[in-house]
Structure 1
Amino acid sequence: SSDHVHFEQMKEIVRSYNIEAKWFIEGYMPPFADYMTNGFITSTYYLLAATSFIGMNAVTKEAFDWLVGKPKIQVANVTICRIVDDVATYEIEKKRGQSATGIECYMKDYGVSEEEAMEEFKNIAENAWKDMNEECVKEKSVSMEVLKRVVNLSRLIDVVYKHNQDGYTHPEKVLKPLIT
């Protein structure tokens, strides 16, 4: 059921937040792959995609099962969320003393500069958008209405973090003018 899906995903988020807190307290910088695996969950986009299905007439148990199976479009969705968020919040997280940021983990793992890491993050996001567009054309397991929910979450990230600004932390700068 959708309640069971939400409950399991919520438990997964709490466990992943706990991992992030432990990394922060210990000053531990995980390998980039571990950071991303955990970061996909803490992006909350696995849970939010399922939540966005609630109340839709077109959503069936099969649609929830499809989503829980982490289809390519949903992986692209959480990738966009994690990567774009990490680029936009990097400076503020660095000032807070957070060493386990996506950019820092990538720099350490691949021996690249901050600039090179930022460029690669943009490439990762660009490729995720390509995957998302491709899946909108190819995916036949669920309706376009269901797919649109997933796409709209990524579109939201594009608005909240426009031009690498952190609209989540500073909504008055980024989001207020748009809403007004």
Structure 2
Amino acid sequence: MKVVFNAIIEVCDEVKLATIESKNSNTVVQCVKEAFGNLARVYLTEAKWSQEICIPTYQEYKDNGVISSTYPLMITSFILLAKSAQYVFDWISSNPKIIEVVSLIGRLGNDICSHKFEQERMHVVSAVECCMKQYEISEEDAYKFIEKEIEDLWKVINEECLKSDLLTKPMLDCFLNAARITELAYENFKDKYTDGKLWKDDVIALLVDPISMEKPNGNDIHYK
């Protein structure tokens, strides 16, 4: 725990150095610290569930899982390291819907793909078990239920992007790309985060063999 805590302190010090020229440096560091604190609290909740062999309700699990996905920490840190105006800090502090939805896509996507592997060892329950218990359905039906919810969450992302008049396009792209990488990482029920070798074809397609198209003047252009 000391090693982990010291690593977090080092990250916060780096954030302070990176934003030292900004008048918002102290605010940024405080936001990052709070994000780490929130993550520690939900990890403690999961540890208690595991020790007590407790299966929470599906909603309780999702409420906790939004934070345990680590997406709020990553997204908040990434955005705040930019030269953000005060309204951005206020907006992030309001727990915006789009961050919650993107985080939940990450949590549920991970749970479906890593479910069988993680249940082979002593591990906290996943969304699958919570869904099965609460709705008294089979494992297969729980997968379908969660997949449908992920589809619906994408609709919420689209809705939030369309109605947002506070966020710039780069910020919206940050949220969209976080959800997109989740879809890619867990496509076909494979957990590429756990098994890095599964990224090989994607990396080759992006960097080694990009799509080549010939322009009318004979010059090739490459799309990555």
Question: What TM-score, normalized to structure 1?
Answer: 0.92
Answer with 1 or 2: which has the greater Rg: 2
Partner residue, 1:31: 57
2:184 paired with 1:148: no
Partner residue, 2:9: none
CA contact (8 A) 1:77 1:153 kept: yes
Percent identity of the aligned residues?
30
Q: Check 1:64–1:151 CA distance in 2 against 1; reply closer, same or farther (3 A cut).
A: farther
Partner residue, 2:138: 113
2:126 paired with 1:101: yes
Secondary structure of the structure 1 residue equivalent to 2:167 = coil
Partner residue, 1:82: 107
Partner residue, 1:6: 32
**1:100-155 per-position Cα deviation (integer Å, ceiling 9, x unaligned):** 21100110011111111111101111011111112111111221221111111111
2:203 paired with 1:179: yes
**1:63-115 per-position Cα deviation (integer Å, ceiling 9, x unaligned):** 13212312222121111111111111111111124352110011001111111
CA contact (8 A) 2:112 2:189 kept: yes
Which residue identity is paired with 2:175?
A: V
Which residue identity is paired with 1:169?
A: T
CA contact (8 A) 1:50 1:64 kept: no
2:191 paired with 1:162: no
Query: Please, which runs of 5 or more residues in structure 2 have no aligned partner?
Result: 1-26, 205-224
Stretches (4+) displaced over 6 A: none
* Structure with the higher fraction of residues in helix conformation: 1
Which residue identity is paired with 1:27?
A: I
Query: Please, which runs of 5 or more residues in structure 1 have no aligned partner?
Result: none
Partner residue, 1:40: 66
Taking the TM superposition and a 5 Å limit, the aligned residue runs for 1:14-29 are 14-29=40-55
CA contact (8 A) 2:47 2:124 kept: no
CA contact (8 A) 2:28 2:81 kept: no
